[in-house]
C-alpha cells in the first residue's frame, strides 16, 4: 500500500509525519471519508467541497486547489491499483511547536491521502438490521465545537462509541444537550413514520453527511415526503422504520433502539427501497478514473 503525503508516495511502513504536527498534538485539522465503487469515486466533488468548507471554518489553508486534490486522489488510487476502496483524505495544520498557537506552524499544511478497504458492520446486520443504544455522552454543542466541521478532533464520537461497545452494541445514539436526537457516533439517523421520512436538521448538532444528503435527494425524486425535523427518542421508539447513513456504513437498517423494537422489528420496506436506489446511484454518480 502506498500513502500520499504532501505530493509524494510512501509505503505504509514508511509513511510518517512529524510528532510536532498539530494534527497529532491537538487534533487540529480536517478530513473526509470517500467511497469508490468499481473505479467510480462516489460524490467526490461533494466531499471535497465539504473538506474545503471545514478547513475554511477553522481558518486552515489547503495548499492544493480542488482540481489538484481531485488529481492527487485519483493518482493515489492508481498507485494502489484499486477498483473498490475507501479513501481517507486528511489535512492537518502542519508542523509547529508544543504551544496551541496555530501561527507557530511552519510552512504548509500536511495533506495525507490513504486508499484502503473498510468494513464497519457484518453482512448479517445489513440483512437483519442492527440494535443501537442511547449513551450518556451528548453531541458537541455548536458553541463548543460545531459538529458540521468534520475535524480531526473526534473524541466526542469515540467516547460515545466506547460506551456502546462496553454495553455490547455496535453503534450509539447521541442526543444533543437539549435531549433531542442528533446522530450516531459515525452515522446520520433517519426514521420513517406513516410513509414519510424524517431526519434531524443540522441545527440539532449533526454533520451534513454526503450519504444523508444523497438519501434525501433520492427520496424527493421519488416523491417520498421528506422532513428535516426535530424529534425526541419517543418519536424514534414509535417509528415504523429506522436506518443509519454514512460513507463507510452506506445505509444500514436499525430494528431495535434502547431495547424497543422499531416497527415490525425487521428492516422496513422503505429502507430497503432507498437502499436499492442508493446502490444504483453508486454505479453512476461521481468521478470515474
Alpha carbon distance 74, 287 (integer Å): 9
Q: Are residues 83 and 183 in the same domain?
A: no
Note whether residue 287 is domain-resident: no
Q: Are residues 66 and 133 in the same domain?
A: no
Q: Are residues 130 and 250 in the same domain?
A: yes
- pLDDT at position 167 over 90: yes
Note whether residue 66 is domain-resident: yes
Q: Are 134 and 173 in contact (CB under 8 A)?
A: yes
Q: Are 31 and 150 in contact (CB under 8 A)?
A: yes
What's 173's domain CATH number? 3.20.10.10
- pLDDT at position 101 over 90: yes
Note whether residue 289 is domain-resident: no
- pLDDT at position 247 over 90: yes
Q: Are residues 45 and 180 in the same domain?
A: no
* Average pLDDT over every residue of 219-228: 98
Q: Are residues 99 and 201 in the same domain?
A: no
Residue ending a domain, among 96, 116, 136, is: 116
Neighbours of 57 (CB within 10 A): 14
E-strand ranges in the chain read: 2-5, 8-11, 29-37, 40-42, 85-92, 110-116, 130-134, 171-175, 181-184, 188-193, 196-199, 226-228, 241-246, 250-257, 260-261, 286-288
* Average pLDDT over every residue of 261-284: 97
What's 98's domain CATH number? 3.30.470.10
Domain assignment of residue 172, given as a range: 123-281
- Work out the mean pLDDT of the chain and round it to a whole number: 97
Q: Are residues 146 and 271 in the same domain?
A: yes
Q: Cell 427501497 sits at which residue?
A: 273
Q: pLDDT for 235-246, tens place per residue?
A: 999 999 999 999
pLDDT at position 142 is 85
Q: Are residues 128 and 239 in the same domain?
A: yes
Q: Are residues 16 and 51 in the same domain?
A: yes
Q: Are residues 135 and 109 in the same domain?
A: no
Note whether residue 153 is domain-resident: yes
Residue ending a domain, among 57, 92, 116, is: 116
- pLDDT at position 123 over 90: yes
- pLDDT at position 106 over 90: no
Residue ending a domain, among 116, 132, 149, is: 116
Q: pLDDT for 148-163, tens place per residue?
A: 999 999 999 999 999 9
Q: Are residues 7 and 105 in the same domain?
A: yes
Q: Are residues 182 and 262 in the same domain?
A: yes
pLDDT at position 220 is 97
Q: What's the structural domain count of the chain?
A: 2
* Average pLDDT over every residue of 221-225: 97
Q: Are residues 137 and 275 in the same domain?
A: yes
Neighbours of 99 (CB within 10 A): 11
* Average pLDDT over every residue of 274-288: 95
Note whether residue 288 is domain-resident: no
Note whether residue 19 is domain-resident: yes
Instruction: Assign 108 a pLDDT band (cuts: 50, 70, 90).
Output: confident
pLDDT at position 143 is 87
Residues annotated as catalytic are 150
Percent of the chain with pLDDT over 90: 97
- pLDDT at position 61 over 90: yes
Amino acid at each position: 500500500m502506498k500513502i500520499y503525503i504532501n505530493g509524494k508516495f510512501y509505503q505504509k511502513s514508511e509513511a510518517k509525519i512529524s510528532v510536532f504536527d498539530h494534527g497529532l498534538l491537538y487534533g487540529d485539522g480536517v478530513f473526509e471519508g470517500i467511497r469508490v465503487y468499481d473505479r467510480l469515486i462516489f460524490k467526490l466533488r461533494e466531499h471535497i467541497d465539504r473538506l474545503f468548507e471545514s478547513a475554511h471554518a477553522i481558518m486552515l489553508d489547503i495548499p492544493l486547489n480542488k482540481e489538484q486534490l481531485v488529481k492527487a486522489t485519483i493518482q493515489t488510487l492508481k498507485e494502489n491499483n484499486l477498483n473498490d476502496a475507501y479513501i481517507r483524505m486528511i489535512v492537518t495544520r502542519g508542523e509547529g511547536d508544543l504551544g496551541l498557537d496555530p501561527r507557530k506552524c511552519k510552512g504548509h499544511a500536511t495533506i495525507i491521502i490513504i486508499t484502503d478497504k473498510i468494513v464497519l458492520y457484518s453482512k448479517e446486520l445489513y440483512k437483519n438490521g442492527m440494535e443501537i443504544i442511547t449513551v450518556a455522552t451528548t453531541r458537541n454543542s455548536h458553541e463548543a465545537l460545531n459538529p458540521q466541521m468534520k475535524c480531526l478532533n473526534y473524541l466526542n464520537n469515540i467516547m460515545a462509541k466506547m460506551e456502546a461497545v462496553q454495553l455490547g452494541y455496535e453503534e450509539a445514539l447521541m442526543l444533543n444537550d437539549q435531549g433531542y436526537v442528533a446522530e450516531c457516533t459515525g452515522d446520520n439517523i433517519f426514521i420513517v413514520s406513516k410513509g414519510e421520512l424524517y431526519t434531524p436538521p443540522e441545527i440539532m448538532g449533526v454533520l451534513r453527511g454526503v450519504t444523508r444528503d444523497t438519501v434525501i435527494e433520492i427520496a424527493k425524486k421519488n416523491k417520498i415526503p421528506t422532513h428535516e425535523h426535530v424529534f425526541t427518542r419517543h418519536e424514534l421508539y414509535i417509528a415504523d422504520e429506522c436506518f443509519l447513513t454514512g460513507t463507510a456504513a452506506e445505509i444500514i437498517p436499525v430494528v431495535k433502539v434502547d431495547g424497543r423494537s422499531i416497527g415490525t422489528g425487521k428492516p422496513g420496506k422503505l429502507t430497503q427501497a432507498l437502499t436499492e436506489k442508493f446502490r444504483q446511484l453508486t454505479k453512476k454518480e461521481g468521478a470515474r478514473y
